[in-house]
Amino acid sequence: MKSRLMILSVALVAMLAAASLAMANPYGRGPGAWMPDIPQEKQEQVAKLYREGRQTLYELEARKWAKQAELNAILAAPKPDSSKIEALAKEIGTLSSMVYQERVALQQRIFKETGVNLPLAGGPGFGPGGCPMMGGQGVGPKGGNAQAPCCQ
């Protein structure tokens, strides 16, 4: 029973990881859709940096969700091992912190190399992957979805 639940959890994590990669450019919109007041060359530079940086974010998120699935499997067991639960909870917290630090580092890199100050994606009001276009409300300077780098 435990092995079936573990296999099911790992399969679910793999499906979620694949789905997140498939959703990377769901609308096919260009950079102008999220940075209307910024010159095209800067938009392209920001989009390139964002594409480069988000791969690390995807990998960290996938690791975090794999640990979460493992934790869920242990919690669903008839006699959960509390030491494993505590260890996994600590690992998940560490991975969450790493994801946030990576997001901040990406935002700082984009600002340093382009002068464009983007809102930190993934905060309140953002949908999956920190994308306001995927169900959140965005926090751009003009309201709505202004400056959301995720739609590339």
C-alpha distances out from residue 15 to 22, 40, 66, Å: 10, 35, 11
| Furthest C-alpha separation in the chain | 59
Work out the average pLDDT over 71-78: 94
How many helices and strands, by DSSP H and E, does the chain display? Answer: 3, 0
Looking up tokens 């679910």 gives 12
CA-atom Rg of the chain in angstroms: 18
Using CA of residue 90, residue 54, residue 132, residue 18, what is the dihedral sign?
negative
The pLDDT-based confidence of 35 (bands split at 50, 70, 90) is: low
Average pLDDT for residues 9-27, to the nearest whole number?
A: 56
Amino acid in the structure at residue 5:
L
Mean residue pLDDT of the chain comes to 73
Q: What is the pLDDT of residues 80-92, one digit of tens each?
A: 999 999 999 999 9
Q: Which domains does the chain have, with CATH numbers?
A: 1-17+40-115 (1.20.120.1490)
Spatial distance between the Cα atoms of 152 and 140, rounded to a whole number of angstroms: 16
In this structure, which amino acid lies at residue 103? R
pTM: 0.57
**109, 103 Cβ separation under 8 angstroms:** no
Q: Which of 12-21, 70-79, 82-91, 94-103 has the lowest mean pLDDT?
A: 12-21
Quick: pLDDT tens for 132-148: 433 333 333 333 444 44
Indicate the pLDDT class of residue 129, thresholds 50, 70 and 90. Answer: very low
pLDDT digits (tens, 9 = 90+) for 97-116: 999 999 999 999 999 999 88
| pLDDT score, position 103 | 92
